[in-house]
Amino acid sequence: MRSKQYALELAKHDYKVFPLVPNTKRPLKDRSYLTASKDPQEISNWFDHEPNINLGLSLSDSNLIVVDIDNHNNNDIRSIFQTLSDQGYKLPADTYIEQTPSGGLHLFYRGQVSKKRVTNFIPSVDLLADFTVIAPSVINGDTYRSINTNYTYNTILDAPNWLLDALNDRPVQQYSNSFKRTGNVKKWTTGKRLDEIVAGVDSGGRNMWLTKQIGWLIGTGAELATAYTIAQQINRDYIRPPLKDSEVNVIFKSIVTREVRK
């Protein structure tokens, strides 16, 4: 009954929830975050019918964002935070945070965004603005739970600017149109290549275009981890629509293998 009480408490504070099949992340039939409710009677009816349901929270109805840090492959959570920080994506930790059954983390922030989610923002990190599973839901006997007991949904911080940018799909030119060179400046090969990357590519020839850019990145002599990180960002920001991660990995590995054989 704890889940019912928790759901009713959330509804009392204007958060919309929806029922999930017990022990899973799947919504009950004809239910989803699009039909989430804060009506106490409706919520009570769900639990009267099935007392062991899991809970989903509609993030979009409350202008909430979740940074989902995955631990399915026994990732080092601390190193993921460090990678985010190194790339300028710092995450304030004094907000409401839940631990997932797999040992991952859900960090909650507030903000209005246009995108519903960004998967694999960096490896093992998703950005969610549509819905998420919440405590005290249970998966295979393990529960979602708050890790900072002094924090609640009332202590959720405003999202950092980079998180809002990532989920608002702002065009790249928004940040560059105000910066123009004056006078005659010689454009070196590197400058031409950077301009080509920012110009991006549409659906035609995406694989060949990314192969060219990755080959150039590796050819600069940068560490392979650096080249891979930039390749992922190029795919995410400048290819429309982006390639699947598996395709990027195949391209990257093939070029590395080719370079080793030289």
Reported as a single tens digit per residue, the pLDDT across 158-214 is 999 999 999 986 543 334 444 455 556 555 678 888 888 888 887 678 899 999 999
Q: What confidence score (pLDDT) does residue 186 get?
A: 53
Tokens of 81: 């935070």
For residue 178, being part of any structural domain is answered with no
Same domain, 196 and 251: yes
- Domains: count for the chain: 2
Q: Give CA torsion, residues 236, 240, 246, 247, to 10 deg.
A: -120
- What's the CA gap between 68 and 77, in Å, rounded? 11
Do 160 and 209 belong together in one domain?
no
32 and 102 assigned to the same domain: yes
126 in any annotated domain: yes
In this model, does residue 157 exceed pLDDT 80? Answer: yes
CA 63 to CA 184: how far, in whole Å? 47
Same domain, 105 and 215: no
Q: Give this prediction's pTM.
A: 0.65
Query: Which residue would you say has higher pLDDT here, 46 or 221?
Result: 46
| pLDDT score of 45 | 95
Same domain assignment for residues 78 and 139: yes
* The token pair that represents 90 in the structure block: 């710092």
Q: Are 55 and 6 in contact (CB under 8 A)?
A: yes
Q: Give the angle subtended at the CA of 87 by the CAs of 90 and 209, to the nearest 5°.
A: 140
- Token pair 């998967």 is found at 119
Does 94 score more than 50 pLDDT?
A: yes
**Residue range of the domain that includes 78:** 2-168
- How high is the pLDDT of residue 180? 55
Residues 141 and 193 in one domain: no
Q: Domain of 62: which CATH number?
A: 3.30.2250
A 10 A CB-CB count for 84 gives 18
Examine residue 154 and state whether it is found in any structural domain, yes or no.
yes
- The answer on 193 and 111 residing in a single domain is no
Residue range 38-44: mean pLDDT, rounded: 96
Both tokens assigned to 108: 């909650």
| pLDDT value of position 175 | 42
Q: Which residues pair with 26 in a beta bridge?
A: none
Local structure of 133: helix, strand or coil: strand
